Amino acid sequence: DAGVTQSPTHLIKTRGQHVTLRCSPISGHKSVSWYQQVLGQGPQFIFQYYEKEERGRGNFPDRFSARQFPNYSSELNVNALLLGDSALYLCASSSVLAGSPETQYFGPGTRLLVL
Amino acid sequence: DAKTTQPNSMESNEEEPVHLPCNHSTISGTDYIHWYRQLPSQGPEYVIHGLTSNVNNRMASLAIAEDRKSSTLILHRATLRDAAVYYCILRGAGGTSYGKLTFGQGTILTVHP
């Protein structure tokens, strides 16, 4: 079975632009979470979606938004890009919502560079 | 979220055991202890988790202190492929934690041939 896939793998944008990152979860997984990892730091939680509804949100500005589609894939959108948005964006999927210590499976990430 | 404290870095030789410590003195009674690792240029991957009892799987063992205020991830025979950043994470069993993993700085493990 394919793992979590993310596209694109790399992306270069300029300040003020917007970006859309995509994630396909493992087949059968209904929960998708997004993380931002700045160089040298651990990943920071941005969003979780379960059954197409937002179930958790981290401390990120409203420029960050996401959605989940009926096939459980997900998009992360970032508007008005800033230099500080340069990071590795990770998507993780799991089979259930929290309430059990379910394993989260991460994709390889999308590396975004904002110039 | 309860906080974890890990050493910034550790070193090991290949084929030797590695003990990676984690302190979590403010852990609540329902928090699970999870370990993830992140190999270079990859997303994090699950290693092991536990609640109260010691746990073993094919990747590692998790030893949890009796008072649950600390735990140790044990790699029984380190290989070069185990060189990674290891994250100790506490996860609540529901409520508002949902799918959120709170990563700290982690421990950078270097394995020498």
Cα A88 from Cα A71, distance rounded (Å): 24
Q: Do A90 and B49 touch (CB under 8 A)?
A: no
Residues with Cβ within 8 Å of A38's Cβ and at least 6 positions away in sequence, in order, are A44, A86, A87, A88
The string of pLDDT tens digits covering residues B42-68 is 999 999 999 999 999 999 999 999 999
Q: Which of A42, A103, A106 sits opposite B105 (nearest CB)?
A: A42
User: Tens of pLDDT along chain A (115 residues)?
Assistant: 689 999 999 999 999 999 999 999 999 899 899 999 999 999 999 999 988 999 889 999 999 999 999 999 999 999 999 999 999 999 999 887 555 567 889 999 999 999 9
- On the question of pLDDT at B98 being above 70, the answer is no
The string of pLDDT tens digits covering residues B11-33 is 999 999 999 999 999 998 888 89
pLDDT value of position B28: 86
Q: Do B45 and A48 touch (CB under 8 A)?
A: no
Q: How far is B30 from chain A (nearest CA, A)?
A: 10
Share of chain B above pLDDT 90, in %: 75
Coil vs helix vs strand at A15: coil
Q: Which residues of A touch B96 (CB under 8 A)?
A: 56
Q: Do B101 and A92 touch (CB under 8 A)?
A: yes
